A and B are shown apart, each in its own frame.
Chain A
């Protein structure tokens, strides 16, 4: 099993279904409580601001309750893998760098963050030699800069690099 550990299920459908149903139910409860707090009744000038959302939240909660019941009735033999360990690792290996990319934008600016992200991605997941990854990502960054700053005139977040180059 050791060499085949990537195909092990990390999560099965039943757990995933239950988790999603519970999360949405919690959200619907939040909306319902808040609707009641800001007023979901009738006043002289019509329904209050929480009137419509309250009903939306109630229907949402009810629909999720049904989904939860249906999920709980999934039998163990009919419970396929939701995501395998190997797949989850792959997904996380994109999601985590993507989150880091977004996280560093306020400090580095968007362009430098994008160049680093693309280079990292190509080198780590695509097994490109670092110089190829660097060349491709820098080229992409320059094209993006020309496209958005020059052609579309849409300013994107810039950081110390752009200031140092005198284009920020």
Chain B
């Protein structure tokens, strides 16, 4: 039971006054970010990341910094449910399934009940995922210590092929967005040889495209432009949660234990795979409906219809940190930004982190337990406040968000050029979103591009240029085969249809 002991030490690290303070600040900021249009988890963390540079340099500061940023993530996950239920606006794609039953409940005047159920379900899902992380990640990290460049490249390959297999966007658009990300990542200095490339003589491109700048532009400005087009006028249900409603709802929740366990299993499993949170929430909504006795009332305001997707998406969102911590491969755009943060602070994510930065890792894991508990308390008590934010007119909120995005972009490298890039990435994000080019694989490719390339080239050097090294043993071969299966997965329905018609 080494894990328990490490976890207790982690609690000792996380439970300082300073860390608890940053935890609450992070949760509140996260919920606000999750509620506001144009600011999501990934983009909010990206904007605040540069502000943690100085914080991370103080002793124990990296732990405080990661607690702040990860709590923003948990807060944003909680906050997404508020807009879905009260305003029928899913802040993130994985909150879409929550609107199916959450919004009808709010219209029937049961908003408090829906919110309580959704927050409690989110907490449950996250808790299951954190417990899984506590016990599974040391094993995976230990296992991954033996990984060489071919194995790491196979993991990257699997990650990116999973996007093509799992995303609901057209496969060739997913591939194009991803490769565009890799191409952008290769601009600047070649990390293996140190030579300059693709800067076309420009000093501004010396360091390449920063992923933070891309994230802020793609998700922030792009989202603002999109919401503007819809002429956003928020009209939502009033929300008030009284202790009595909370209590009444909690009394009803235990009867959905089977749904909760099933959904958290789906969430934990799918969350480890990149892009898994959205399919996980839809899948568990579908499963809950199939197994429910009140099947035909789904979509008309069933508590179970709120519980199922919320458990799953929070479980998935949380377990996305498992591959990030153990392998250095993030499972979601927000996890990718957190990973980028670790690298900026000088920590190398991956299996060695568990051996060399014990305090940091276990402090983070302990803070996940505490952060989610803090999150539950904050959202249950402050919902009316957060809902009020959405009533601020868009013409006031939008320019402020654009200014904050600009500041976030500037602080990355103290360069005006980056602010321009944010505007450019904003337009790209707007066009891509409308044309169904997925943004998540592009962001992941920008973050991981250099490492994927380095591991590929090192593997190639090891094998003298033979691709057979990716099938050299059962481990790397298995991952490569799985990756190829994922890659060609979109062809399956097509082949089946062909066979059936023949």
Contact = CB atoms under 8 A, between A and B. Distances in A.
A161 interface: no
Interface stretch (B221-229, B301-309, B358-366): B221-229
A60 B176 contact: yes
Nearest to B420: A102
B378 interface: no
Nearest to A17: B435
A118 B193 CA distance: 46
A152 B195 CA distance: 35
Interface in A140-168: 140, 144, 148, 152-154, 156-157
A57 to B, nearest CB: 6
Size band of the A side of the interface? 35 or more
Contacts of A34: 197-198, 200
Chain B contact patch, size range: 35 or more
Contact of A121 (B172, B399, B435, B457): B399
Contacts, number: 156
B197 A83 contact: no
Contacts of A102: 406, 416, 419-420, 423
A38 B197 contact: yes
A82 B198 CA distance: 33
A72 interface: no
B103 interface: no
Interface string B168-201: 0010110110011011001000101101011010
Interface of A: 13, 16-17, 20-21, 24, 27-28, 31, 34-35, 38, 42, 45-47, 49-53, 56-57, 59-60, 63-64, 66-67, 70, 82-83, 87, 90-91, 94-95, 98-99, 101-102, 105-106, 110, 114, 117-118, 121-122, 125-128, 136, 140, 144, 148, 152-154, 156-157
Given A49-B190, A82-B434, 14 more contacts: A31-B183, A34-B200, A50-B197, A52-B456, A53-B198, A56-B186, A67-B170, A67-B176, A117-B403, A121-B395, A144-B403, A148-B407, A152-B51, A154-B50
The 10 residue pairs across chains A and B that have the minimum distance between CB atoms: A126-B395, A60-B179, A121-B399, A63-B176, A46-B461, A63-B175, A118-B399, A53-B186, A114-B403, A49-B190
